Structure 1
Amino acid sequence: MANRSVLVTGGTGGLGTSVTASFVDAGWRVVVPVREGSRSAPPPADGVVRVTADLTDPDAVEWAVATAAGVAEAPLRAVVNLVGGYAAGSLVHETPVAEFDRMLAINLRPTYLVTRSALPYLVATGDAAVVCVSARAAAAPFPGAAGYVTAKAAVQAFAAAVAVEYRRSGVRCNTVAPSVIDTPANRAAQPDADHSRWVTPGEIAEVIRFLASPESAPTSGATIPVYGQA
């Protein structure tokens, strides 16, 4: 039986399925929140607990986190914040405020709510970790994606704040920053790109699992580039 739990948001997405599998293979109990009616969610596998929750709703987040932390024999030791979204195509003066707000709502709000709810459990457990996902674009912006760039930069700043506030409480917080991830959706969107240069979900998953594990104990407040050859 698993003796430690991890909550993986976005655990059924292009990156999330690899992250979930990596933790299961390492013997973790994995809790994956999914939205009601989600078509992307596969049936629960061995070692995976699926819970229905809207991660923009504070009450739903509290319930999902409590479920993840609810097994005494497998205390919550890690949270992996993968939920996010992407939109681009307009310069700043052409971007509706609703679209800008949407990027913050789907990239930053779930990360904040889930981390906030999980921290008391992680502090109680000790030797625990939070891993967030930013993007290369936060450090190297490109035209037409100001909302996305801002949201991912905010995730990175939020993770740094968590690292500073909780380092003496036994909770470390780090961020990974991918470039383009080699997923079917990204291949379909960029069919002429050199896909061999993109980072694979499996490669990122191993970095995330390391950052969630005791082996990364000296590291907190870092942003790890996971660019592949891009």
Structure 2
Amino acid sequence: MTTSLPCTAIVTGGTGGLGAAVTEHLLSRGWRLVVPWCVEAELDRVPPHPDLELIRADLSVESDVEAVVELAAKDEDRPLHGIVNLVGGFASGHRVHETPIEVLDAQLSINLRVAYRVIQAGLPHLIRRGGGSVVCIGSAAAVRPFPGAATYIASKAAVAALVEALAVEYSGDNIRVNGLLPTMIDTPANREAMPEADRTSWARPSDIAEVIAFLLSDASRAVTGASIPLANTAGAR
């Protein structure tokens, strides 16, 4: 299947600090987007748009995920072609022997299980329509770990492994699966949390959005199973 627009993409986390930039950019490129949300205050980040459909959903609940995918797949004139998983969470501060197992469970749930569930629900539609593209957000920490965040790092490493497995498993269905490994993302929340940090290499949401648009497009038809590092190589602006 080619991505001759218009097509539809699901963007989980599409109202977040990174997600709002991705949503805006993909809409500007002509995509129809279905964006699940659960935090009402975040809706201010995504102005109304004729090609944007927002749906309240808890992506840890199977029926909510099914409702999101059903909405995305309902328009036969703009078939579901892309799944972008941006939902994630972060935990740090303690070494492994000081960290309850529940923290690991929570990190695996938000960073891996949600992505798995959404992809799993969307795959039959991508297969039926002849292919598509899946993009997952990982972390540079998965390959360059730092102390005090083993649960987060393990969950993001699992996302990278899932990407590689899916790419092999669905290559025969013309479904490409790729992951992004950004450095710290330059969002308002991260700036507020780390006001004294050196943001020189922090990845910019607008740059990430452009890479995602590329991975969803036919221009990246030869790219699958990749874990792509992202940073602000131009320096802080």
Instruction: Establish whether TM, by shorter chain, passes 0.5.
Output: yes
Q: Are the counterparts in 1 of residues 183 and 201 from structure 2 also a CA contact under 8 Å?
A: no
One of 2, 5, 8 as aligned partner of 1:5: 8
User: Displacement, 1:185?
Assistant: 1.1
Q: Deviations over 1:1-25 (max 9, x none)?
A: x620000000001110011011100
Q: How many residues align?
A: 228
User: Displacement, 1:181?
Assistant: 0.8
* Residue 136 (structure 1) aligned with residue 140 (structure 2): yes
Which amino acid letter does the alignment assign opposite residue 5 of structure 1? T
One of 19, 23, 28 as aligned partner of 1:25: 28
User: Displacement, 1:189?
Assistant: 1.6
**CA-based RMSD:** 1.3
User: Displacement, 1:56?
Assistant: 0.7
Distance 2:231 2:71 in 1: 34
Q: Are the counterparts in 2 of residues 88 and 148 from structure 1 also a CA contact under 8 Å?
A: yes
Which amino acid letter does the alignment assign opposite residue 39 of structure 1? A
Residue 51 of structure 1: SS of its match in structure 2?
A: strand
User: Displacement, 1:98?
Assistant: 1.0
Q: 2:17 maps to which residue?
A: 14
Report matched runs for 1:63-82 at 5 Å.
Answer: 63-82=67-86
* Residue 174 (structure 1) aligned with residue 178 (structure 2): yes
Q: 1:226 maps to which residue?
A: 230
Q: 2:42 maps to which residue?
A: 40
Residue 108 of structure 1: SS of its match in structure 2?
A: helix
Which amino acid letter does the alignment assign opposite residue 158 of structure 1? L
Q: Are the counterparts in 1 of residues 204 and 231 from structure 2 also a CA contact under 8 Å?
A: no
Distance 1:94 1:148 in 2: 14
Q: Deviations over 1:59-99 (max 9, x none)?
A: 21011111111101100000000000101001000001111
Q: TM-score, length-normalised on structure 1?
A: 0.95
The 3 A distance-change label for structure 1 pair 195 and 46 is farther
Q: Are the counterparts in 2 of residues 44 and 50 from structure 1 also a CA contact under 8 Å?
A: no
Q: Pick which of 202-211 and 220-229 moved more.
A: 220-229
Distance 2:137 2:230 in 1: 10
Distance 1:142 1:196 in 2: 18
Distance 2:218 2:75 in 1: 20
Distance 1:164 1:15 in 2: 28
Distance 2:43 2:110 in 1: 18
Distance 1:96 1:45 in 2: 43
* Residue 53 (structure 1) aligned with residue 44 (structure 2): no
Report matched runs for 1:141-220 at 5 Å.
Answer: 141-220=145-224
Runs of 4+, deviation exceeding 3 Å? none
Q: Are the counterparts in 2 of residues 127 and 214 from structure 1 also a CA contact under 8 Å?
A: no
Residue 10 of structure 2: SS of its match in structure 1?
A: strand
Report matched runs for 1:73-112 at 5 Å.
Answer: 73-112=77-116
User: Displacement, 1:195?
Assistant: 2.1
User: Displacement, 1:203?
Assistant: 0.4
User: Displacement, 1:46?
Assistant: 3.0
Distance 1:81 1:152 in 2: 12
Q: Are the counterparts in 2 of residues 163 and 220 from structure 1 also a CA contact under 8 Å?
A: yes
Distance 1:83 1:31 in 2: 14
User: Displacement, 1:184?
Assistant: 0.9
Q: Are the counterparts in 2 of residues 136 and 225 from structure 1 also a CA contact under 8 Å?
A: yes
User: Displacement, 1:197?
Assistant: 2.7
Distance 2:177 2:13 in 1: 18
Which amino acid letter does the alignment assign opposite residue 33 of structure 2? V
